[in-house]
Chain A
């Protein structure tokens, strides 16, 4: 894999993805082998929006590789509060770190920031745009549970603003996946994403639905995302719509026994807690996979400064 930055899952080829996932599997099997591999290396964390899983798993990943992190902290306590541009912030912090992780509320922020830095920059979410490192751990989880070959997946919820959805859809177009998108009319996939997926028509097989019922029995994986309250003009409308896209144990009676249910988390009430106890639930495992996958990605991006790599 040879990329200076990881900005969008569109830039990742099937071979890139498999390289990261294979490396993640090796690391998960023997994490001690890489424990000092990047000793002394520093990862800069720039989170302009709240994050728990992504930020903590990047921090854990870097520390488990022997490195450490420098954290910009909250926007409230940083120079951003004084009106500093993102371009200036990343140019300053690249002088402190060997790679940068950026989450920002504006779409395209990582693309723009990457124009100003030479160290590898990883997009950890840019508004309603992309979240490619989440996609890599999603793909890892899918590969472990259902396999990426001949996959039939349903992606449900807020498809319009859900950056994990956009990134996952692009990445899956590298594989022979049948992709079903289930959402209310108002939260369908953005036309830009549909356009891009149709550009990949030969490989991407894409269908849009308003109801899960008709396709649930055919699914190998159901990827659920949160429908956010603020996307709707009033509470009643939100309750009505969101209720139609909630998963309970009874919903899953119509599903295959092998169905894997995933969720990028945090969930609110779109997956009932009872589902956690079933064989279907893979979302906590999915969150845990963030560490080996991000370790693999950082290892590949930081190169062989550990002196043991054969690449």
Chain B
């Protein structure tokens, strides 16, 4: 069975918007959290979790109707879904397809795990992390996080 055929069974096609594919199994809700999409603005969102995949044993897929996500918006997904592919859809056709790229810095997305860091208080600053190949680093206190970056997502 083809990969695409498999999706059709579980997640309906969207007319126009963004499809985020090849997300590691179990990370779909973190993808939405990073993008700040929680459905409260009435967005039509379809989520497929742990669907069989050719590339991964299981993958997640997220479809957001009516919103074309920019490269900057999706690049931050590289922290938890480095192999994700982004499909921009218009009138049921994929008009653009690209991968996420690792940004140099992410702002306002993660919260520092160091309780003694100034960025965790009430100051008027966004958390800022430098992004390395295998880790992120708080620009304020210097804390380096290598594992479980998803747990730092500021929801």
Contact = CB atoms under 8 A, between A and B. Distances in A.
Interface of A: 83, 85-87, 104-109, 111-112, 115, 126-129, 191-192, 195-196
Given A86-B123, A87-B125, A105 B116 contact: yes
Contacts of A86: 118, 123
Given A87-B125, A107-B118, A108-B118, A192 B144 contact: yes
Nearest to A191: B144
Nearest to B140: A108
A108 B144 contact: no
B124 interface: yes
B144 A195 contact: yes
Contacts of B138: 108
Nearest to A113: B118
Given A86-B123, A87-B124, A87-B125, A109 B144 contact: no
Interface in B97-155: 114, 116-119, 121-125, 137-144
Contacts of A196: 142
Task: Tell me if A's interface is mostly helix, strand, loop or mixed.
Answer: mixed
Contact of A107 (B122, B123, B124, B140): B140
Nearest to B114: A107
Contact of A112 (B114, B137, B140, B143): B140
A196 B132 CA distance: 13
A195 B139 CA distance: 15
A112 B123 contact: yes
A129 B125 contact: no
22 contacts: A83-B122, A85-B124, A86-B118, A105-B116, A106-B116, A106-B118, A106-B121, A107-B114, A107-B116, A107-B118, A108-B140, A111-B118, A111-B139, A112-B119, A112-B140, A115-B125, A127-B116, A191-B144, A192-B137, A192-B142, A192-B144, A195-B144
